[in-house]
Amino acid sequence: MKRLFLLILATLTLSTFSSTVQNRPTGLMIDLVTDADALYQKGYRAEVKMQDLSNEEFSRYQYAAIRSSRPTLGWIVPQDKGNTKQESYQIVIDESYEDARQHKGKVWNSRQVKSNQSSAVAYSGNDLQPNKTYYWSVRITTNHGKSRWSDIQAFRTASSLKPYAVSYKPLIREKDYPKTIKRIAPRTTFIDFGKASFASLELTLQCDKDADTIYVAIGEDAKDGQINAKPHGTVRYYRYPLILKRGKHTYPIIPADDKRNTGAQAVLVPEYLDQVAPMRYCQIENYEPAIAQSDIVRHSTIYPFNLDAAHFLSDNETLNAVWELCKYTIKATSAFGIYVDGDRERIPYEADALINQLCHYTTDREYAMARRTSEYLLQHPTWPTEWILQALIIAWNDYMYTGDLRSIEANYETLKARTLRSLRRENHLISTTDSKVQSAEFRQSIKFNGNIRDIVDWPRCGDWPHGEDDHYHLTPYNTVVNAFHYQALVLLEHMAQLTGRKQEAEQLHKESAALRKAFNTLLFDNEKGVYRDGIESDHVSLHSNLFPLALGVAEKQDYERIMDYIRSRGLVCSVYAAQFLMDAIYESRDADYGLQLLTKEDDRSWYNMVRHGATMTYEAWDDKFKNNQDWNHAWGAAPANIIPRRLVGVMPLKAGFEHFSIHPQTSTLNHIEATVPTIKGEINIEINNSSKSYILKTTIPANTTAEVVLPLMGNAKELLIDGQKAEIKHSLKNGIDCGTITSGEHSFEVLYE
């Protein structure tokens, strides 16, 4: 009996311990930074812990220095049961690890705060001090009971602090080894790493005599089984002589600085890292000994990225390949810690940043790099009119995905100027063509030293019949520019409301309503059901129609006629404008056309890049459409966000993913598996579609709710929600409204006649 009692006691103890581990808040964030306690040396993860270091020793390491004296904190609420809701939290911060282990909270003890807030929780103790290590943890109470304390997370402040400043992780390195090594000539070896990355190399080579010279070539392209020494445009190729020493030695191969991408406007590689270049291939020439895999190390530079955070798999292999290409692009192009336009310039631009931002949000639980880029561009804007206006979309995305309002509060006046309201004329539209309105005062307000000008798409023309802008007519009152202006006014109205500027919000509401009325009166051809390129033009283009639809200025009753025209034009836009085209298509609920464009395989498609062996997306659809394009441009990776946001249908409806949508638009796809990371935790979705039923299974993170709308695929006879019959309610276009669901596992099944 005694043995039986001890066995039962041990089982209960183990069960309690397991429950304790699962019943802790996880995914701790401070100032939107996860893994704030991680330490690195020359970009590689160090085994030492922050609590083991003296203040003087930190100078030898890289870490995510917290730059706010009053940061925000966040965590993922543990999912004990279905419908888990946080009811309160308690946060403690200490200077001593020993105090932190006892949860003393000598720096700050929030006590128990009744709140469901689990992201962007404001620190409200005394200002944190610079160059100090702190330790924090949190415990919560949910509607199912009290949690255990989270793990203790250390973080260290920067040498200079402000009440609010952007914090971010350091750039790090990963070691890669060749996928294939092939001798292609008696003294030439060709090496393929499988995927391109921004990297330097390290070679371990053997030599029988001093001063023997070999050559090491690195590049992005291969042709006829060897490295391409004359690639297209700014696709990279370098060849360096290397003088060997007698014996076996290790040699660094560090790319030389490029004059253009290390200039005054470029984002530079930090001093603790080597210079990098995009490379997939290496070729060693005039070297006879055999080369082992361990002899070739590629040091790839990235911003810390969890490639497993997001997942997508369908029964369409083309779509899967496009997803994998685009997801990997977001990791590989993070090498500078700020979103840049590719290797040719390494300069941040708003258009690149907007697409990159959305892709980063949907492929990793990471928000700090996007915020750093957003605020960089608020201080260093670029010249296109539409891109100036995109600053508000970027700032709004930041808020919706994080729930953290501080960036909008800190930059409100700059964002206000970026609406370009001062360029408005009597007809309520804006125009950049009159140089008088672009005064010194105006340029100062938007922080740009020069005149801005309209762009519509880039490049403005190409070596094919239509050009990348569908022969758009640039006129003083530009349809595309004013569509962006409308969206900017609407978003500033929301920002004004959130920051307590009630009267200003009311004025902005009036202005946006007047603009929308004027826009649709002056620019929409009601007889033809399309928008013209401008007031002064009768020309109609894909761009003058896709942007009003994507940016919310088009009237819903006109969606179908506009979409008829959009479908008639095909993909006559650049990879940049394709982001907005896909948003427009899915906004109009045309899932079939959306899937058609995502999976098309001609020379104007994402699959065209896959077919050519790309592992990062191109700047243009193909080399022939841009004579100086590069092969590492994240603005070509729109499917990385379009697939989760639009096809799978997961988008925030309330800030910080407190409430979100699951509105799948799967068209003819029969099977989908998806994991979408969010600041509240991951959302898992599985969809099975047949002629008889449409089944969606999902796991919703704790402390969130979701609005579910399923596509109507036929004549629905029955709806089952979690196995129970439910009323069939039609919603949106061809949708079945399943209502709002709480956290946990759920199933939805529509049966067809």
Domain 656-752 in this protein, CATH class: mainly beta
CA distances (Å), origin 46, targets 20, 41, 60, 116, 135: 29, 6, 11, 36, 19
The 10 Å Cβ neighbour count of residue 491 is 25
Contact of 728 with 752, CB cutoff 8 Å = no
Q: Nearest-CA neighbor of 273 among 38, 44, 46?
A: 44
Residues 479 and 485: their CA atoms lie apart, in Å, by: 10
The pLDDT score that the predictor gives to residue 13 is: 40
CATH no. of 172-302: 2.60.120.260
Q: Are domains 172-302 and 311-647 of this chain identical in fold?
A: no
Q: What ranges make up the beta strands (E) of 69-185?
A: 72-76, 86-94, 108-109, 113-114, 121-122, 133-142, 145-146, 153-162, 172-176, 180-185
How is domain 311-647 classified at the CATH fold level? Glycosyltransferase (1.50.10)
Length of the chain counted residue by residue: 753
List the chain domain ranges: 21-162, 172-302, 311-647, 656-752
| Cβ contacts of 475 within 8 Å, gap of 6 or more | 533, 534, 535, 536, 537
Token representation of residue 550: 């994507």
Residues 403 and 367: their CA atoms lie apart, in Å, by: 11
Residues 187 and 193: their CA atoms lie apart, in Å, by: 20
Map residue 749 onto helix, strand or coil: strand
| Radius of gyration (C-alpha) of the chain in whole angstroms | 27
Q: Which CATH architecture has domain 21-162?
A: Sandwich (2.60)
Q: Which residues of 504-524 are buried (b: 16+ CB within 10 A; e: fewer)?
A: bbeebeebbeebbebbbebbb
Task: Report the predicted TM-score, pTM, of the whole model to 2 decimal places.
Answer: 0.95
Average pLDDT of each block of 10 consecutive residues along the chain (753 residues)?
44 39 86 98 97 96 98 96 95 98 98 98 98 98 96 98 98 98 97 98 94 96 96 96 96 96 96 97 97 97 98 98 98 98 97 98 98 98 98 98 98 98 95 85 95 88 62 95 98 98 98 98 97 96 98 97 97 97 97 98 97 96 92 98 98 98 98 98 98 97 98 93 95 88 97 93
The pLDDT score that the predictor gives to residue 461 is: 53
Residue with tokens 């090498």: 335
Contact of 469 with 389, CB cutoff 8 Å = no
66 phi, psi to nearest 5 deg: -80, 125
Q: Cα–chain-centroid distance for residue 429?
A: 32
